[in-house]
Amino acid sequence: MSKLNKLISKEAAPSIDGGAINPVSVDEYVKTGGFDALKKAVSMGSEEIIAEVKKAKLLGRGGAAYPSGSKWEHLLHIPETPKYIVCNADEGEPGTFKDRLILDKLPLKLLEGITIAGFTFRAKAGYIYVRGEYRTIQKRLLAAIENAKAARFLGTNILGTGFNFDIHVISGAGAYVCGENSALLNSTEGKVGRPRIKPPHLAEVGLFLQPTLVNNVESLANIPAIVSMGGDSYLQIGHPDSGGTKLICLSGHVQNRGVFEVPLGGITLRDAIFDPELGGGIAGGKKLKFFHLGGQSGSIGGPDLLDTVYSYTDLRKAGLSVGSGAIVVMDETVSIIDYLRCVSEFFIHESCGKCVPCREGSRQVLKLLKKLAVQDAACSEDLNTLRRLIRTMTDASFCGLGQTAATALNSAWKHFKNEFEANVRAES
């Protein structure tokens, strides 16, 4: 395996290109090449910038993996104005903490990416919707914004181009559902954070009912690199179907917990969990039982899938997903039923309650999982009911939260069916 760039861990110093800097200092950021991409972008046309994003094959890093270039191109061809840029920093996915790293250690890189997007669409303003628990980070973002404005990289007449663009920080209130883009926009407008009916799509009717680009923190933080090095060079770093690197979050029973930057297509799941430069293996010398990818709404896999290449395409073929980049590792001591009970409790707590399949389906799933955890309490019909609930929630829930709430359960059923059946009472 090639040498990997360990971006940060508990022991590592925060850095950009290897040199520790003050995260909100524009002068120090500029010395490392900061805002060079913005300077280049203001000399390019909108179509030219978007062409580079499309060449890079940047897939959305928030979880949906939608092609960023296509999303940008769609918005460009919508004639209505004003347009808005919204950064989704509502990082509420359990096991995911890579956006926090960027917000805390690389805020100016994020601001540069948002400003490039703003210039591309001649947007009226940008908004960063930050998870409510990130109070200290919000203050750091505000300081970085003020410093960028003072240096004329943000605000009025940016770099003497006549383009005016400001960025505002909005604090969430801790609702997981606001990670869904339309719920996030409702919350930004001061409304209840519940998802909207689509269509119309957010590119057409978004923030304040105007055309809006919504991208994840990590997606926007990659834009300066794409503009600076060009889309083709960025693509070479990653997988032919998805360029660049990915921040992965290792947690659970892995030896080395933290955020790591890996090239898409450059490692396998085995590398991620067991390589000394990354996970370092299972803590306490125990055996791996399963891993949960992409957050609570992602798929669960077993040791038989460890040699799957870590890329959007290869994981999808294996029934897994990159998702948010989370890799939660569980050892042999963990009961899959108990783990899934925790997942179900999470979705019950975070459901907005708008639709019955999500609101009530999660409650019924938890009841059945509790029965399955007790010897002879459940019968074979309970297993059939559980399977029907999975299909109903996936097919009939209003938004992505309910549609993926049973993903972990569905994938675990495939790999650990014997554990589901172990406590089912024998029937004549």
Average pLDDT of the residues of the chain: 92
* Structure confidence at residue 422 (pLDDT): 87
pLDDT mean over 287-308: 96
pLDDT above 50 for 16: no
- Contact between residue 428 and residue 346 where contact means Cβ atoms under 8 Å apart: no
* Structure confidence at residue 423 (pLDDT): 83
pLDDT above 90 for 14: no
CA 96 → CA 10, 61, 93, 264, 312, distances in Å? 15, 12, 6, 18, 17
pLDDT above 60 for 378: yes
CA distance 374 to 383: 14
* Eight-class DSSP state of 197: P
Most confident of 37-41, 89-93, 416-420: 37-41
What pLDDT digit, counting tens, does each position of 208-244 carry? 999 999 999 999 999 999 999 999 999 999 999 999 9
pLDDT mean over 45-68: 95
* Structure confidence at residue 165 (pLDDT): 98
Q: Kindly give the interhelix angle for 380-396 and 356-372, rounded to the nearest 10 degrees.
A: 160
DSSP line for 226-261? HHHH-HHHHHHHSBTTB-SEEEEEEEESBSS-EEEE
pLDDT above 70 for 428: no
Which residues have a Cβ under 8 Å from the Cβ of 404 and sit 6 or more positions away? Answer: 297, 298, 394
Query: How are beta strands 166-171 and 212-216 bridged, if at all?
Result: unpaired
pLDDT mean over 65-81: 96
User: What single letter denotes the amino acid at residue 372?
Assistant: L
Local structure of 123: helix, strand or coil: coil
What percent of the chain is predicted at pLDDT more than 70? 95
pLDDT above 80 for 103: yes
